[in-house]
Amino acid sequence: MTTILSLSGVNKHFGALTVADNVAFDLPEGQALGIIGPNGAGKSTLFNLIGGALSPSSGAIFFEGRDVTRKSAAERCRMGIARSFQIPHPFTGMSVYENLLVAAAFGAPGSGGGREVCAEILERTGLMGEANRPAGSLTLLERKRLELARALASGPKLLLLDEIAGGLTEAECHDLVETVCGIRDAGVSIIWIEHVVHALTAVVERLIVIDFGRIVADGKPAAVMADPLVQEIYMGIAVDDETA
């Protein structure tokens, strides 16, 4: 299977703080990978490193076999890496549709966006009825959908989703999961950071756990979630408590 993304010995330090500690993994093309870990573990930093907002202190990142370690976020976006942010920041004065057109203009040439593609993305993300509304007037769910739609409009081969399910109701979360499954089934590779674990495991086939910037577990979701070490560091269930 072709590897779309490869991280090799990636380290990131902020002064004395290590937030990525020798991170290494390969993502096969078309795979949906979930990333979980406690607050402050370094998950968003990892996205910043993959997306190009930050450069690693050492190590290398390859996308489709090309070394992108020193490429800018804009260059990586044109190559096909798109990202949604934990806190959506749309162009609030522009309509939903215009927001997509802007994203398409900065994305991968030829694969994202013409007007027809943007219209199709509005449909897929449940925003067609909101196309002409100012983005600033959207609800939280609609903003999260727009964040996803903007990332799709750039024509990604790899989609990085940062906590898109947080703050949603069960029903909204279910709808969002359906949408992400549709994107996955269309062949887009996905890495999704999420605290809402049941939403994540409904979509991903592989789970990585990060703690203090290190990968501490990597495997099938059920096996990873059953790992006593993961239960202890992520869910606060001490191994001894369970056996007591």
Ligand X SMILES: Nc1ncnc2c1ncn2[C@@H]1O[C@H](COP(=O)(O)OP(=O)(O)OP(=O)(O)O)[C@@H](O)[C@H]1O
- Token output for 86: 């934990």
- Contact yes or no for 19/12 (Cβ under 8 A): yes
Would you count residue 37 as binding ligand X (CB under 6 A)? yes
Q: Is 114 in the site for ligand X (CB under 6 A)?
A: no
Interaction between residue 52 and ligand X (CB under 6 A) = no
Strands (E), the chain: 3-14, 17-28, 32-36, 58-63, 66-67, 81-84, 158-162, 189-193, 206-211, 214-219
Nearest approach, Cβ of 160 to ligand X (angstroms)?
12
Closest distance to ligand X from the beta carbon of 226 (Å): 22
Helix (H, G, I), strand (E, B) or coil at 54: coil
Range in contact with ligand X (rule: CB under 6 A) among 42-50, 124-132, 133-141, 217-225: 42-50
Q: Is 167 in the site for ligand X (CB under 6 A)?
A: no
* 17-28/3-14 β-pairing: antiparallel
Residue 41 binds ligand X (CB under 6 A): yes
By the rule CB under 6 A, 9 interacts with ligand X: no
122 in Cβ contact with 156 (< 8 Å)? no
| Dihedral sign, Cα of residue 23, residue 107, residue 204, residue 84 | positive
Strands laid side by side in the 58-63 sheet: 17-28, 3-14, 58-63, 66-67
Q: Does 19 bind ligand X (CB under 6 A)?
A: yes
- Region near ligand X per CB under 6 A, out of 35-43, 101-109, 139-147, 167-175: 35-43
Could you say whether residue 43 binds ligand X (CB under 6 A)?
yes
89: contact with ligand X by CB under 6 A:
no
Tell the smallest beta-carbon distance from residue 216 to ligand X (Å): 13
Contact pick of 42, 113, 155, 156 for ligand X (by CB under 6 A) = 42
DSSP-derived secondary structure letter, 95: B
Q: Please, what is the minimum distance in Å from the beta carbon of residue 91 to ligand X?
A: 24
Where residue 52 falls (left for φ over 0; alpha for ψ -120 to 50; beta otherwise) is: left
Is residue 123 within the footprint of ligand X (CB under 6 A)? no
* Site residues (vs ligand X, CB under 6 A): 14, 17, 19, 37, 39-45
